[in-house]
Structure 1
């Protein structure tokens, strides 16, 4: 009988196939077993709020632009905060001699030099109300800071200790297609300006306003005479205003669809659209009136009627 000697290529392919099978078994075993230690990753790990968003979408309620996100960060701790003050200053604070014991204000200051407070002051507080790229949104608040290890790393001759921490963030991150609402605070022939959550400015350009809407200068059409300088709802009319398809002037809260979002640092801008009326009108915001008719509003109507 003659034996066939396998070539080098065949041996190599058999070796790779065995390794692939071994890797598949290993991945299957890892996926079937729960992880006992937190995963250390530089990428934000989103958690919470996903089921709530799905339920809101099913009920026809607006998708909230606020998200709860959990992420891991590799941060430095300055030498000023690289110790536990209870252990360092404990003997001073508990000194039985009142003349040597620090005052309550001094003791509180001593106890404030914790690693957690150092991370807050040096890294987390500067993120508030600014766009943070790893989370792709504006950081509103943070909470629940916890260390992923009880040890820190000091590299070379640097006096700073480096640690992995996990933090929960509240992030405002509207996406294209979301339906939001804002107060009308500016009207011109080129756009409509809104203020969302009393914080963020939104511009709706003329191209994103329905063709059935029309812009009227003050005194140009019936209903606008005598309204120069009069506060109409939430905005002062100096140049004119927009009239919707129903013949009503735009005022108060206005729903719109997010068209684009641009942000860097503390600078945030958003552009909206009013063209997709079917989707916009299908979203119902609860707890707020969409029109605000105050006394000045009624006064402007009476002036116009005269």
Structure 2
């Protein structure tokens, strides 16, 4: 099942994609794709709906972030060995954890703002994991039972603020618009193995990233279990699980960074595609 949220920013309504690829309105059934709606029982109820009876979305409707009321967005750094190598950093022995502020979250096709004075804004296609029920201190063997589904994430990053401005990654990762998620939340029953997903990213038609989740250092179950030891996880929390090689920072001999007026296009097998235009922040 593919769930979505649509409408103006801050006024999104719930929806789904039916078997024919038609986007339908779910607001007569649930108030949002958030909280308890992400639990197993609620998702099972939604699967039982005859989607053809639901209204079609209006033509041209904006697709918002696929999850509402996100409590926290937790990210894993350097989770692909070849990305760690291109960043000139050692392969982690434990997951590298940082945060994106929830104010960074936007829709899959919303504009991405280049911060004032930035010359090192970068891209990172990542697999997003959405928590469906609360968990704490879970074992890796059970961790995927707590996942509602998966989505595409662009972990946009400002490298100067991330690396050169005092060493706290959160600063370079959390600018407004730096967390596009969606377009869909694809429920876990449609993703039998999250470690067999191709993911890719292009800028202005040039493919920079082309990887697969099978090369993660710490797989999804291990990441969820590890984080549940550091913090409790609640329904609607989003985990971004790291990026494969091909980021602008790693291009040799000269890194390549984003500037206003470019187009990023990215996607993951079965989870849909994103397309963002870069604009200069005011």
User: What TM-score, normalized by structure 2, do the two folds share?
Assistant: 0.24
Q: Which has the higher relative contact order, 1 or 2, with Cα contacts under 8 A spaced 6 or more apart?
A: 2
User: What TM-score, normalized by structure 1, do the two folds share?
Assistant: 0.23
**Structure with higher helix content:** 1
Larger Rg: 1
